[in-house]
Amino acid sequence: MQTRLVAVSAMVRDKSGQPVSGLTKDAFLLKQDGKPQAIRYFSEGADLPLTLALMVDTSGSQRNYILDEIIAGRVFFKTMMQKPEDRGVLVQFDTNILQLAKITANEATLEHALAYLSQSHNDIANRGRGNGGTLLFDAICATAHIDFGKQPGRRVMVILTDGGDNGSQFSEKKAIEEAQRADIVVYSVYYSNGGGDIDALNDLSKATGGRVFTVSPQLPLKDIYAAIAGDMRLQYQLGYQPPPSKPNKFHKISLDAKDKTLSVQAREGYFTPKQ
């Protein structure tokens, strides 16, 4: 019998784009495959533990940004990991996918690992390719398969990249699917010197309930990190009991505010667990 609740993380914004707090579950309308569902649990996101995967693109097009990413990343882990049970992991990807720090609650371990973004540690999906490339979609799939444990709460993937993919075994569609299966919200941070693919990042973040930010002189990385941390504090966490379904089947989720002046940012679907 299917007893697992489906979790949905949500951000609510007003007409001006400002986050809205203080809502109750009665303020929302939740549907699966077009049919209304009763919300079984509801909480403010900051009440739940956070598991954070920071992924850094170190391919040739991104190497000029690494120093800035290291400096901002040190503050980011401290800002995001506020509770003893909060945990993080650091992943580097280019022609290979490297886990620079195992999943840990120790901020110092993660901060130390940032200094080694150009070195190889704990390879989690080494393709053994030496001819260049950026395995963005493979990196998302590999990171989604890291053992995050059974801890309930918020799961967030922050990806620093220009969105370009060259050489991945898996497709953009598969990367979205694996993030949805792992109940991960994807925040994309777009660094670009004129190349890349922001459309792919928009697709990834929209499907999982995240957002895309573009780094610029007016919006530096440290400010983007502060905005993501703000989202995590103001997220709502909802859960519902899905109707019976065959294993491995995709179901569309829609979450709206009853107040039509408000917009809701949430993932677009989930897969029934495999048996």
Could you give all domains of the chain from N- to C-terminal order, each with its CATH number? Answer: 47-234 (3.40.50.410)
Q: Which residues of the chain have pLDDT under 50?
A: 1, 120-122, 127-131
Query: Which two structure tokens, joined as six digits, stand for 272?
Result: 């029934």
Question: 132-176: per-residue pLDDT in tens?
Answer: 578 999 999 999 998 776 666 788 999 999 999 999 999 999 999
**How many C-beta atoms lie closer than 10 Å to residue 110's C-beta?**
27
**pTM for the full model?**
0.87
- Three-state secondary structure call for residue 203: helix
User: Which pLDDT score is estimated for 119?
Assistant: 63
Which residue stretches of 57-196 are H helix?
66-80, 107-114, 136-144, 172-181
